[in-house]
Structure 1
Amino acid sequence: MPTTHLLYLHGFRSSPQSMKARLVAEHVARHHPGVHWWCPQLPPSPREAMDMVMRGIDPWPRDTMAVIGSSLGGFYATYVAAMTRCPAVLLNPAVDPARDLARYIGDQTAWHDPAQHFYFQPAFIEELRTLEVGPVTRPERIFAIVAKGDEVLDWREMSARYPGSRVRLLEGGDHALSDFETKHLVDVLRFLDPV
């Protein structure tokens, strides 16, 4: 079924202004104007973020919706896909953010606007743990792009998290997937088959 509703979930300290989010938004607007696009600014609290997302997509048709998630957004997208059984594209997805983000407790700045501050609370670590969904039940509905050159996350963990799924393992690359527009954008949209 072609995708009619597309959700994009950004990463930790990121925003809808991220390079990849803007590229997908522009591509969808230009080539797939019939697709309902939503890329919300996620609050720092994982529980609040997923409550907001699940409320927002509640009226969406489960058989024609899809989700894209980058980094922490990839972890969130895995949760959304598990809850809705929709297809998901994961871009260098966080596998164990409860472990990895424990060292970021405290005052943080937004990546795209350093003047914006937020406090990453210790309670958020447990909130992340409650969003862990275990093994993927529909691996064929997941496409993960994983860069061996990711300077933030371990490519071995990322690629091992999604057995049976389509995993594009990049020999180099970086956490931001700087070559996203030229090397991956078209394939991401092809996998999701937007109307």
Structure 2
Amino acid sequence: MILYLHGFTSGPQSVKARALGERMAARGLAADFICPQLPASPAAAIALAEQIIEQHRKVGAADTANNGVKSAKITLVGSSLGGFYATVLAEKFNLNAVLVNPAVINQLPMEDFIGTHRWLYTGEPFEFTAQHIAELRALERPRLSQPERFWLMLEEGDETLDYRQAAAYYVSARQTVLVGGDHSFTRWNDYLDEIIDWSVVPRT
């Protein structure tokens, strides 16, 4: 199963989320894709993702007990802030993760984001507060314990985040770094099948 975690003001309607979900559906894997609307609160966003992961594990354990079929492990796909969340969750639950132009929180001036924002696809306002920054700081990991679980995807033309920050933090992970592009990762569709294949290949 792929759990897609969207970026700061994004949502399940994002271009990348929809493209990946549609490609999985075309390959008969529609039931193995989930992309929830994440709350503005980082702590709440992580809690929601953890709930989904734990529920998947319970269902998988029941399937194994009942019919001996082992459920596929979750792979996380995270974009921008969702890439940070995916990193936190992958480290906690020993999961594999694809990170698309991810945010490296300790390199960002988070105070600049305090204030009112709007969800890109609904237009609804939300507040980003100092408490949310504290929640992000509490989630930070100084380094990866298992970099082989990560696939970092960057475009050097990212106008929102400095791609070099992520390249340095995930230095020991698999990396795809492309010239040009922007924060949306313009060549996303070129990698959909490879992402799906990488996500379903059994790994330790």
Q: Structure 1-normalised TM-score?
A: 0.90
The answer to whether the Cα contact below 8 Å between 1:6 and 1:35 also exists between their aligned partners in 2 is no
The alpha carbon displacement at 1:104 in A equals: 1.5
DSSP-derived class of the 1:191 partner: helix
1:121 maps to 2:142:
no
Aligned-pair identity in percent equals: 37
> Cα deviation per residue 1:94-149 (whole Å; 9 max; x = unaligned)?
011683432121111111233x1111111100000111122111111111101110
Among 129, 145, 155, the residue aligned to 2:163: 155
Of 98-107 and 70-79, the range deviating more from structure 2: 98-107
Residue type of the alignment partner of 1:125: I
The answer to whether the Cα contact below 8 Å between 1:69 and 1:90 also exists between their aligned partners in 2 is yes
DSSP-derived class of the 2:76 partner: strand
> What CA distance in whole angstroms lies between the structure 2 residues aligned with 1:36 and 1:132?
28
> What CA distance in whole angstroms lies between the structure 2 residues aligned with 1:38 and 1:152?
26
Of 68-77 and 162-171, the range deviating more from structure 2: 162-171
Q: Structure 2-normalised TM-score?
A: 0.86
> What CA distance in whole angstroms lies between the structure 1 residues aligned with 2:18 and 2:29?
15
> Structure 1: which 5+ residue stretches go unaligned?
none
Give the paired residue count: 189
> Cα deviation per residue 1:152-174 (whole Å; 9 max; x = unaligned)?
00111011111221110111111
> What CA distance in whole angstroms lies between the structure 2 residues aligned with 1:73 and 1:50?
10
Equivalent in the alignment of 1:72: 81
The alpha carbon displacement at 1:178 in A equals: 2.1
> What CA distance in whole angstroms lies between the structure 2 residues aligned with 1:104 and 1:87?
29
Equivalent in the alignment of 1:82: 91
The alpha carbon displacement at 1:34 in A equals: 6.8
Equivalent in the alignment of 1:173: 181
Equivalent in the alignment of 1:188: 195
Structure with the bigger percentage of helix: 2
1:164–1:35 CA distance, 2 compared to 1 (3 A) = farther
Report which of the two structures shows the higher radius of gyration computed on alpha carbons: 2
Residue type of the alignment partner of 1:134: P
